[in-house]
Structures are given as structure tokens and as C-alpha cells.
Structure 1
Amino acid sequence: MAGSSFGEAFRISTWGESHGAALGVVVDGVPAGLRLDTNRIQEFMDRRKPGQSKFTTARKEADAIEILSGVFEGKTTGTPISMMVRNADQHSKDYSNIAEIFRPGHADYTFYEKYGIRDYRGGGRSSGRETIGRVAAGAIAIQILEELGVEMCAYTKAIGPVAIASFDADEIRKNPLAMPDAEAAKKAQAYLEDCIGRQDSAGGVIECRVKGMPAGVGEPVFDKLDASLAKAMLSIGAVKGFEIGDGFAVAANNGSVNNDAFCMQDGTVKKETNHAGGVLGGMSDGDEIIFRVAVKPTPSISQPQKTVNVHGEEQTIEIHGRHDPVIVPRAVVVVESMAAITLVDALFSNMSARMDRIVDFYQKK
């Protein structure tokens, strides 16, 4: 299947289906000599795995990561790193009643039109479970960024109508919704309880902040850093919107407000404000990169919905089984992972942008 790879200098290729034997990823472009903390990779897997609270699917999966290649004695070897997670709790019979029916909000119809065949068990490649490979690869990318002094933090900014009003980074891991505001998390949980009672689902907003990115990373035309981030985020199945910096709010601003004034701080060029969100002309400007994504409500709901089947017959469907009433909390680590993969790819590509730096690197000592 085309479209299962992402990146150039740092490239990932994911594989597997929701109800297949396993899912995984091949990561190519990881430099040799990175001391890889495999516990960190499992921590990332644990953040996205199902069954963590009543606000996630009841599917029970350990999502234990297996590293098959590319690591020797705790260090990367420079060869492709292959990682795998085995499926253990598939209930494929839960989907037998929709084998010939297109579920509203899902990719059933488009997969069928494209290939003439589809894996109806959990959506196959269109399932959110495909993100396992992204998260495993992202855990490696995060460790590379940390070696370079780049810090990243993603969190739930809003669920439904409930948005955060304060920020406490320590609170993100303390509540099941990954919100940095304890009071907002309580209100959001009450809202989700109401959604569950109505057999409905909710969407939300995830925000990601990146500190320490050097200026000048990214390309000025088609491969702009913000364009690459947008592609990475919109490749996540549940994401329907992307904005960076002030985003859509810039449409109501004037240039006198939107422009970020430059100044000197400790001999370095800085900005007094950050309406641009850390990217100018498609390249990082050295400021904090801030972007947000809009996540749609879970399409699998138990309410009656109108649809059609493969024979063109109109029908009504009620979707049963184990489904998240909200995707947002588990998608936070997916957003963080895809951002990390994008930034590492951009950093590696940027190494050949200037001749003087190439000469410095290869200069004989």
C-alpha cells in the first residue's frame, strides 16, 4: 500500500492491521551510537494503549514492544530498526454484522471504492491502532531531540466545550484526559459521562509546544516546516484541523499586531512576541513552536445512524463493541510522536544546507 511511509532523512514505514497478528514499524536513518532507552519506548506505548480508563476502549492490550533489529548492546547500529507489537485481544466477531455496511464517519466506503475489498474488522489499516508504529518511532525521535536539547510537551487543550484555563505540566499525567488543568479535567470528565449516557462521543483539541529548536530548520518552498508538521498531523486518522501560532485568529488581526518585533537578547536575535508560532517563511525562528490540532468525535457510536451497504441498499446501523467515547487523550502521544519524527527529519535534512558547516564537519583535524 502506497502512503505507509513518512520522512526522508529520518524515515518510518508502518505496517499491520487492527485485527491482524501484529502491527509495527521500520525506522530508517537513526544514527549509530544513540543509547536507546527501550523502557522509554514502552512508556510511550503505555500512554496510547487501550483500557486505561472508562474514557477509552475496553480492549485489553499490553502493547508490549519487541525490537527486532538495529540495536546492539543498548545502542543503535545505524541500520533499520524494526519494532513490533502483537495483537492479543481481537474480537473480530464484533464486526461480522457490518461486513457489508459502510459505517458513517469511517473509511469503509472510501477503502471499498479504492481497493474493491476492505478489512471490516476494526477498520484494518484505517484503525487508530495503526498509530502503534508511529508512537514507537516517535519514542526514538524524542530521544534524539533530547540529545540536541530540544524539549517537547503535548497535552489536551479542550474536550468538547471544556477548555483549559491554567497550565500545570505535572498535571498532564495525573488525570485520564491528559489535561494540564485539574479543574478543567473534572469538568471534561462530567461532560464525557453525559456523552456516554447518551451513547454519543466527543472531540477536542490537542496542543503541542516545542522548545529549543535552532533557527533556520525547514525548507522555504514546498517543504516548509509548518507544512511538514501539518501533513504529519493531518495524517493521523482522527485529526481534521491544524493551526500554528495564532492560527485562524490571524484573519482578524492587523499587521501591526500580528508581526513579531525582533530584538537582541544576550547577543542573540529574539522576538518580543510569538504570533508566528516559532516558524517564519517555512523555517524555525528559534522561538517556541506552538501548534494545535482538532480531533473529531469517535465515529463509532451506539445511536441509530443512516447508511447504505455494498449493494446500494439504504439501512440503519447501530455500532456495538468496544470503542473510545473520546479519542483525544490517547491521541496526545501520537501528536507528540509525529511532531518529533517531523522535527528530527527536518534537523537531519538541514545538516547539508550550508557549505561552511559541511567543510567544518569533514575538515581534517
Structure 2
Amino acid sequence: MSSEFGKILKVSVFGQSHGTAIGVNIDGLPAGEEIDLEELQRFLDRRRPGKNKLSTARNEGDVPEILSGLLDGKTCGAPLCAVIRNSDQHSKDYAELADKPRPGHADYTAWVKWKGHADMRGGGHFSGRLTAPLCIAGGIAKQILARRGIYVGAHLRGVGGVADAPFPLTPTPELFEEVIRKPFPVLDDKAGETMQAVILSAKEYLDSVGGVVECAAIGLPAGLGDPMFDGVENRLAAALFGIPAVKGVEFGAGFGAAAVLGSSNNDSFLVKDGNIVTETNHAGGVLGGITTGMPLVLQAAFKPTPSIAKQQQTVSLSAMENTDLEIHGRHDPCIAHRAVPVVEAVTACVLLDLLLEGNHGTF
């Protein structure tokens, strides 16, 4: 199904933004893994809406209810199913949108595909609200990976043309934790202040702004993945594009590699402390779809929030004529800063799936 990814670790997301609940089913988790539910809640809180003026005013607790898959705090081999009850829906704000598709949203394509039967209140199944159950799966995956010395972390790399410092060549778990403890997920706090000002300015003008999230995974073994169509980059990109509003994914130097010479882009090999490493990491820790043992580094670009209060042009589906649209309701002036843990979550799920599939002596 389209709302599922993974081969051994299968993650299936369900629900709609204004439905009774949203949730996730995770099949293939290794048995006997202890899950710290308090730590999982802290991870979910990083994505949670309604915390400040930088995000939507929709106030959801995002407390997961584990229905199956845990026994005495440990995975038991059965599929783990968890739900989050929706409690703060304003569905009346979306009544007009049944006839007037929002520019930049999936309203029109969903209307065409499902012949007008799709639940598009708050974006329905296309909504960023569905990233909360993704974070349940990813928060669990992160705990399992960390036990094996593999850590996934991310930060807000840029907003509206304002750039944060990039991750260093070899990020550390301590650096990841430092970002987690901050109210705004950047490495350079001064850059973060400027980003926040850009977001609030867009909000003041009834508009929105996009951003970029940089994610890294450290501690991965070399040799993970396959060439051609089933490589590490392929699997990650496919899942990352499932995050609402993602419009671009790149690894290492990414598109920047197209503007330099091979002598500059190639990462020289060397032996350090008995291990083969590279002097730089323009490849982002992957060559030929297979991990090199260097940190895996990727970036995901998020478009500006399409729901804006400015008047926009659309059509009336019933009258088949041009019309104007003013969107009401509560919306994020920027999605990217709340997406930082979501990118971590999806990355962690894919990496855990690859490790389980490859069985590199980790499980």
C-alpha cells in the first residue's frame, strides 16, 4: 500500500488530520527490545504543534497509546500498533475547500483520484499531522539503533535563504543532544534568531516560508546497502519523499557536486586508528548505494506551507469556473523547524530496516 514503507521493518501510517485518531503499525521489530516511553514522548514533543508563534496554534498533546506489540515494556515480536487521539479539530474552517481546492495542496489531485470522496479536512491523509505517527516509529527505531552505537540527529540547515552552520565532518551524539535541548533546532544560535525573524515576518504578511533540514547518522557499518536501484540513497529518498511538503533530497554535496571538478569532489581514502576513512565526505557516507563507514549525511528541502491567509486564485469544482480563495484556520508559517525530528524518524526507520535485512551481526 502507498502509506507503507520498509522490507523487514514495515511501517504503515493510517488516519486523517480531523479523524478520530491517527496511528502507525510497525511490523518486524526485533523482539526483546526495551522501549522507554518517556523518551519516546520527549521525541514526539519536539514535533508537537501549538508550542509557540512559529507553528500552528492547533494544540494536540500527541500522547501515543500503544495497542499491541509491547509486553512489560519490551517488544514481543507481534506488530506494534499505536494511535494518537485527535482532540483539537476545527473542521468548519475547511468547509469551503470541498469545492475550492487550495493551491499547492493535494485537494485537487485527491478529488480527481477518489472522485470527490476524499476526507480533506485539515489535509486529510495528506496532512503534516500524519508525521506524528511517523515519529512514533522513528522514536522507537532511534532507541534500538542507539543501543548498537548508531545515532541519528538533525538540525534546521536553512530557512528562506538564511543558513545555519553545517554538521562537522564527524558529528557526535553529544552534538545531536545539544541541538535537541535547544528551543530552536540549529547549531548557530545567531543564525537561528535570524531564521525565526524570517518566519515571523512571513506570518505577519499572511505568507509562509520554506526550509532545509540536514540529517546525519553516525556509527553505521561500511558495506550496508546494495547497488543500482536498492541502494541506501534509494531507500532513504523514497521514504523521505513520503514526508508531506518534501520537494528535494540530496546526499553529501548533492547538487553542489555538479559545479566542481572531480579532483575537488572525490573523497581521498586514508587509514586512521586502524580504520579506512575518507579525508572529506562529499559522498555523504555512501558510494555505489553502499555505506562507506563515514557519517551518512543528507538534506531534505521543504516547500513553504501552502495554506496561507493571502487571497489566492483557484477554481470552483462544482461550477467549473475561476474564483478566489481565502484560507482560514490555523497553519504553520514554516514547516521545516518542526520537521527536524520527522526527518530523523524516517531516516532511523530506513536504517533499522536495512540493518535487519542485511543482518550485519548487529541483531
Q: How far off is 1:4 after superposition?
A: 1.0
Q: 2:200 matched to which residue of 1?
A: 193
Task: Output one character per residue of 1:256-296: Cα deviation in whole Å (capped at 9) or x when no partner.
Answer: 11111112222222112111000011011000111101110
Mapped to 2, the partners of 1:143 and 1:249 lie a distance apart of 33
SS in structure 1 of the partner of residue 25 of structure 2: strand
Q: How far off is 1:127 after superposition?
A: 0.6
Q: 1:203 matched to which residue of 2?
A: 210
Flag the 1:82–1:289 CA change in 2: closer, same or farther, 3 A: same
Match among 291, 305, 308 for residue 301 of structure 1: 308
Q: 1:42 matched to which residue of 2?
A: 41
Q: How far off is 1:171 after superposition?
A: 5.4
SS in structure 1 of the partner of residue 156 of structure 2: strand
Q: 1:329 matched to which residue of 2?
A: 337
RMSD of Structure 2 on Structure 1 (CA)? 1.7
Q: Which runs of 5+ in 1 are unaligned?
A: none
Q: Which runs of 5+ in 2 are unaligned?
A: 168-174
- Counterpart of 1:46, as a letter, is D
Mapped to 2, the partners of 1:342 and 1:54 lie a distance apart of 32
1:234 is aligned to 2:241: yes
Contact 2:200 2:333 (C-alpha < 8 Å) held by counterparts: no
SS in structure 1 of the partner of residue 137 of structure 2: helix
Post-superposition, which runs of at least 4 consecutive aligned residues in structure 1 deviate over 4 A? 166-171
Q: 1:178 matched to which residue of 2?
A: 185
- Counterpart of 2:36, as a letter, is D
1:23 is aligned to 2:30: no
Task: Output one character per residue of 1:152-182: Cα deviation in whole Å (capped at 9) or x when no partner.
Answer: 1111011112111477656534554312211
Contact 1:19 1:92 (C-alpha < 8 Å) held by counterparts: yes
1:137 is aligned to 2:152: no
Q: How far off is 1:193 after superposition?
A: 2.0
Mapped to 1, the partners of 2:259 and 2:160 lie a distance apart of 24
1:313 is aligned to 2:321: yes
Q: How far off is 1:221 after superposition?
A: 2.1
SS in structure 2 of the partner of residue 68 of structure 1: strand
Q: How far off is 1:226 after superposition?
A: 0.8
Structure 1 range deviating more: 297-306 or 266-275: 266-275
Identity %: 47
Mapped to 2, the partners of 1:233 and 1:320 lie a distance apart of 29
Contact 2:154 2:176 (C-alpha < 8 Å) held by counterparts: no
**TM-score, length-scaled by structure 1:** 0.93
Q: 1:51 matched to which residue of 2?
A: 50
Q: 2:159 matched to which residue of 1?
A: 159
Q: 1:77 matched to which residue of 2?
A: 76
Contact 1:103 1:307 (C-alpha < 8 Å) held by counterparts: yes
SS in structure 2 of the partner of residue 222 of structure 1: helix
1:287 is aligned to 2:271: no
SS in structure 1 of the partner of residue 120 of structure 2: coil
Q: How far off is 1:120 after superposition?
A: 2.5
1:278 is aligned to 2:285: yes
Contact 1:176 1:329 (C-alpha < 8 Å) held by counterparts: no
Q: 1:267 matched to which residue of 2?
A: 274
Contact 2:157 2:166 (C-alpha < 8 Å) held by counterparts: no
Mapped to 2, the partners of 1:239 and 1:286 lie a distance apart of 27
Q: 2:63 matched to which residue of 1?
A: 64
Q: 2:359 matched to which residue of 1?
A: 351
- Counterpart of 1:12, as a letter, is V
Q: 1:33 matched to which residue of 2?
A: 32
**TM-score, length-scaled by structure 2:** 0.94
Mapped to 1, the partners of 2:226 and 2:286 lie a distance apart of 11
Q: 1:250 matched to which residue of 2?
A: 257
Structure 1 range deviating more: 306-315 or 3-12: 306-315
Contact 1:138 1:341 (C-alpha < 8 Å) held by counterparts: yes
1:341 is aligned to 2:349: yes
Contact 2:32 2:76 (C-alpha < 8 Å) held by counterparts: yes
Contact 2:165 2:187 (C-alpha < 8 Å) held by counterparts: no
Mapped to 1, the partners of 2:153 and 2:353 lie a distance apart of 18
Q: How far off is 1:191 after superposition?
A: 1.4
Mapped to 2, the partners of 1:66 and 1:320 lie a distance apart of 31
Flag the 1:106–1:4 CA change in 2: closer, same or farther, 3 A: same
Structure 1 range deviating more: 189-198 or 291-300: 189-198
- Counterpart of 2:134, as a letter, is R
SS in structure 2 of the partner of residue 343 of structure 1: helix
SS in structure 1 of the partner of residue 309 of structure 2: coil
Q: 2:126 matched to which residue of 1?
A: 126
Contact 1:175 1:185 (C-alpha < 8 Å) held by counterparts: no
Contact 1:169 1:180 (C-alpha < 8 Å) held by counterparts: no
Q: 2:172 matched to which residue of 1?
A: none
